[in-house]
Every structure is written in structure tokens, then in C-alpha cells.
Amino acid sequence: MNNHLSDGQGREINYLRVSVTDRCNLRCAYCMPPSGVELYPKCDILQYRELLTIIESFAELGVKKIRVTGGEPLVRKGVVGFIQQVSEIVGIQEIAITTNGIQLHKMAGELKNAGVSKVNISLDTLIPERFKTITGFDGFNQTMHSIHSAISSGFESVKINMVVIDGVNDDEIEDFVRLSVDMPVQVRFIEFMPATPQVWDESKLVPMDKVKEKVERIGKLVVCGRSRWGGPAEIYRLEGAKGEIGFISAVTRHFCSDCNRLRVNSKGKLLTCLFGSDDLDLKELVQSGADKEKIKKAIQTVVLGKNDIRTMIANGDSTRGEAMSCVGG
């Protein structure tokens, strides 16, 4: 079997996001509903050895980059050892992690040694009291500490994800831009996306054009190159800045034509589009004893039908219907 994975629209697929847990130590208001999300029973969550078989199958098909996400990936026991094993899979060239930063400062060194080269840290406000309001936890200092630890640990890149939400944190755009001036990080502004049905509110979406307009008032933006694996962000740098600024307009200007990614949620469902439905039950396949050849065939078949946000719009769905904490963003 050749090690090349592409979909029916000719898009080359080389990037897999893996949600290792749906558990989280925060309760971000835009991700988890205030009533709480229904957590999957522990027995539904993929075991690491099952995940490794799945990742090996993807790697044999040509996936080269893995992002470990969640829920909060760093709350799952054994995650460092798991990442170490992923780094030993032939064909995997890059491992990244997305975390809320609450525990990262304690683990940055060991994650780097295990093979993580890129870290994305979610931070939606620079105001400690507001951090508590948004996330339900007084953890601003821990996340800031983690950003500093990540920088000093020497990761190839440290990115800060800020979801811009109208009336919640859109008054802090300038402050986040200043962070990119003073620190060697990429600050990424992200549009609020329709995911968790109970919290989605279209009126809170701030279109990225508006965010960019605000940023352009601060200084001249210089275009930077795209990342090695492509990716959805438009990347710039303010003249003289140590870091960069990324704009991710997942809703107002979806980037389906460039999409090179797949997702496995914490229950082992393969999603070919963040806004689509589950496409394949990988857990069932692995637990039924399927060998890698059978798993790869099944993956290739569903990837051929990889769709995009247009399907969701055509179906009239307003959200994915599943909390972002299960899918991993």
C-alpha cells in the first residue's frame, strides 16, 4: 500500500489531531456548557495502545504530523510516555500539543524530551479576574508561567491561542498584539466557532477582518511565511516585534480547499471535517482485532469522501453537536 493519503478533492492529508481525553481541568464558557458536558465513560476512551496502533496506521499512509489535544491532554495520566512512543513511530516527523497551560510549566522539559517540538497554549485574556470568569478557575498565573517555561524550554514554536468573543475579550486585542511584540511567541486570533450547541451564539462571533483592522491600527503588518505543514493561519509580524500574529478565520473565510487534517476524538471516532459528522469508528475496528492493513483501507475509503463546511451548511446544521472538548479544536 502506498504511503500517500489524499481525498477525493486531491487534498494531501498529512496531519492528524488526536484528542487523548475529553476531561479538562478548566470549564471555558465558550467550550463547555455551564450545565456541564456529559463526559464519556472511562471505558469509552481509547487506550494508549489502541491509539498507537491507529497512529501507526496513519503514519504508514503518509501522516507526518501529530497534534495531541483534548480536553486537556496534560490531565491524562501517562501522556508523556505516550508521546515518547508516538515519536518512535516511523514516518512521524513532528509532534505538537495544544494545552490550556495550567500544568505545562511542570512538564515542559519532559514533553520536549519526549519529542514535542511545538506548543500551543490557550489564553483568552490577560486580566486575571477575567481568566477566572471565562474558565471557572483562578489560573492566570499558572498559564502565564507555562508560557514562560515553554519559551525557556526551547520548543521550536510557542503559540498563544486567543478565541475572540464579542463583549467578552475583544477589548484586549491590542494587549495581545503587544505580547507578540515583547515575546517570541505567535499570538493567534481565532474566530468563535459553532461547536458546543448549548454555548454557540452567532452574535458573539467577531469576524477576523474586524480583528485585523484593529491590529493594523497599531502598526504595519509584515507578511511572514506559512508553516511547514500549511495550516489555516494568515501569519504576520509587526515591524520590530519578537513574535508573530496569526489570524484564523474558520467561520467567515473557511479554508477548506487547503485543509490537510483529520481528527480522532477521544472515543476513537475519525472526523474528516471539524464541522462534519463522525466518519469512522476506529475504536471498534481496533477492538474487533482488525489488522493495520484493514484499518488503513477503512481510513482511505472515508478520507476519499472528506467533506467540508459546505456540507454542514447544506445540511442546515448550525453546530457540530458535540463539545469542542471532545473533539480537540
List contacts with ligand SAM (CB under 6 A): 24, 30-31, 69-72, 98-100, 122, 161, 163, 190, 192-193, 195, 324-325, 328-329
Query: Looking only at residues 24 through 83 of this chain, which bind ligand SF4 when binding is defined by CB under 6 A?
Result: 24, 26-28, 31-32, 70-72
For ligand SF4, the closer of residues 53 and 103 by Cβ is 103
Q: Does 122 bind ligand SF4 (CB under 6 A)?
A: yes
For ligand SAM, the closer of residues 56 and 244 by Cβ is 244
For ligand SAM, the closer of residues 161 and 169 by Cβ is 161
Q: Does 100 bind ligand SF4 (CB under 6 A)?
A: yes
Shortest separation between residue 25's beta carbon and ligand SAM, angstroms: 9
Shortest separation between residue 130's beta carbon and ligand SAM, angstroms: 15
Report whether 205 contacts 148 (CB < 8 A).
Answer: no
The piece of 22-30, 151-159, 266-274, 309-317 that touches ligand SF4 (CB under 6 A) is: 22-30
Query: What is the Cα–Cα distance from 142 to 125, expressed in whole angstroms?
Result: 13
Q: 281 forms bridges with which residues in the sheet?
A: 269
Report whether 242 contacts 183 (CB < 8 A).
Answer: yes
Closest Cα partner for 217 from 173, 164, 168?
173
Q: What are phi and psi of 167, to 5 degrees?
A: 75, 0
The amino acid that residue 201 corresponds to is: D
User: How far is Cα of residue 126 from the mean position of the Cα atoms in its chain?
Assistant: 21
H/E stretch holding 242 reads: none
Q: Which residue is nearest to ligand SAM (CB)?
A: 329
Tell me how far apart the terminal alpha carbons of the chain are, to the nearest angstrom. 31
Q: Which residues bind ligand SF4 (CB under 6 A)?
A: 24, 26-28, 31-32, 70-72, 100, 122, 324-325
